[in-house]
Copies of this chain bind each other. A is one copy, B any other.
Amino acid sequence: MVIYDCWSSMTLHRHTLAALCPPLVVTTGRRERRKADIRSRLFRAALELFALRGFTATTVEDVTRAADVAKGTFFNYFPTKEHLLTAFGEMRLDILRTARSEVQLGKKPAREVLCRLLSALAAEPWETRAMARCLLANGLGGEPVASLAAKTMAEARHILSSIVTISQRRGEIRSDWSADDIAGLFQQLFFGTMYRWTLDPHLKLTRCLGTAFALFWAGVEARPGQFKRPQKRSS
């Protein structure tokens, strides 16, 4: 009950999101870590350049130069520029799929899984304002980036929706709102939080995410008897 008390009283200056919801620890060998590092550098460089110059005007050479890797290295990771985008989308969806598996296993409450999920989605490569700005700008910019972003968002909402449906069946999330609406709201809060954070240099991301999750949970949490549809009066 400690976590819920923290959220509900929003004392997030003391109990940060990171402390409440530790990230999923992935232990890998040195070679895997090096590969993950290069992949991450290629993603960052590409997404930054797509946001600045547009997808079409950016070459693979631009990306490898900005990422400080040999040009040929790119093709060890992605067959084309387009595949980089698809892979990035898949990486984001995997974060959501992990959360869905956790909810399906049923060992952790939905509140905890969703809270950690919000934190995981805002982690690398979103964790600097400059990068978050690029990622948000990509969704607003030209094709094919905007279309791919929209496709990933639709798939993400589908996964989120199944998390909500399971949690509704278990009585953890209110059932009078549709799972799809609640999934959409989770996305709206995520993007709105990142957008506001990029604009305000004084804002702490953990605090901003914490208040966002507190609002989300206060709004969607099932409270027995509270959200029944109005009864017809017997006249």
Residues of A at under 8 Å CB distance from B? 5, 8-10, 133, 136-137, 139-141, 146, 149-150, 153-154, 176-178, 181, 184-185, 187-193, 195-196, 198-201, 203, 208, 211-212, 214-216, 218-220, 227, 229-230
A198 CB contacts on chain B under 8 angstroms: 139-140
Chain B nearest Cβ from A201, distance in angstroms: 8
Instruction: With A153-B196, A184-B196, A189-B215 given, name 10 new contacts (CB 8 A).
Output: A8-B227, A9-B229, A133-B140, A136-B136, A139-B195, A139-B199, A150-B201, A188-B189, A188-B192, A218-B220
The 6 closest A-B pairs by CB, nearest first: A192-B192, A188-B192, A218-B219, A219-B219, A215-B219, A191-B195
Chain B nearest Cβ from A76, distance in angstroms: 31
* A177 contacts B10, C-beta separation under 8 Å: yes
Question: Taking the full assembly, how many copies of this chain does it contain?
Answer: 2
Q: Provide the bound-state CA to CA distance between A188 and B205, in Å.
A: 12
Subset of 18 A-B contacts with CB under 8 Å = A5-B230, A9-B176, A137-B137, A137-B141, A150-B199, A150-B200, A153-B200, A177-B211, A185-B211, A188-B195, A188-B208, A190-B192, A191-B192, A192-B192, A215-B216, A215-B220, A218-B219, A218-B220
* B216 contacts A188, C-beta separation under 8 Å: no
A140 CB contacts on chain B under 8 angstroms: 133, 136-137, 140, 195, 198
Chain B nearest Cβ from A148, distance in angstroms: 11
Given A9-B176, A140-B136, A177-B10: A193 and B192 within 8 A (CB)?
yes
* B188 contacts A196, C-beta separation under 8 Å: yes
Q: Provide the bound-state CA to CA distance between A136 and B195, in Å.
A: 9
Given A8-B227, A189-B192, A208-B184: A214 and B177 within 8 A (CB)?
yes
Q: Provide the bound-state CA to CA distance between A189 and B216, in Å.
A: 10
Q: Provide the bound-state CA to CA distance between A214 and B219, in Å.
A: 8
* A187 contacts B196, C-beta separation under 8 Å: yes
A212 CB contacts on chain B under 8 angstroms: 185, 188
Q: Provide the bound-state CA to CA distance between A60 and B35, in Å.
A: 50
Given A9-B176, A177-B10, A219-B218: A191 and B185 within 8 A (CB)?
no
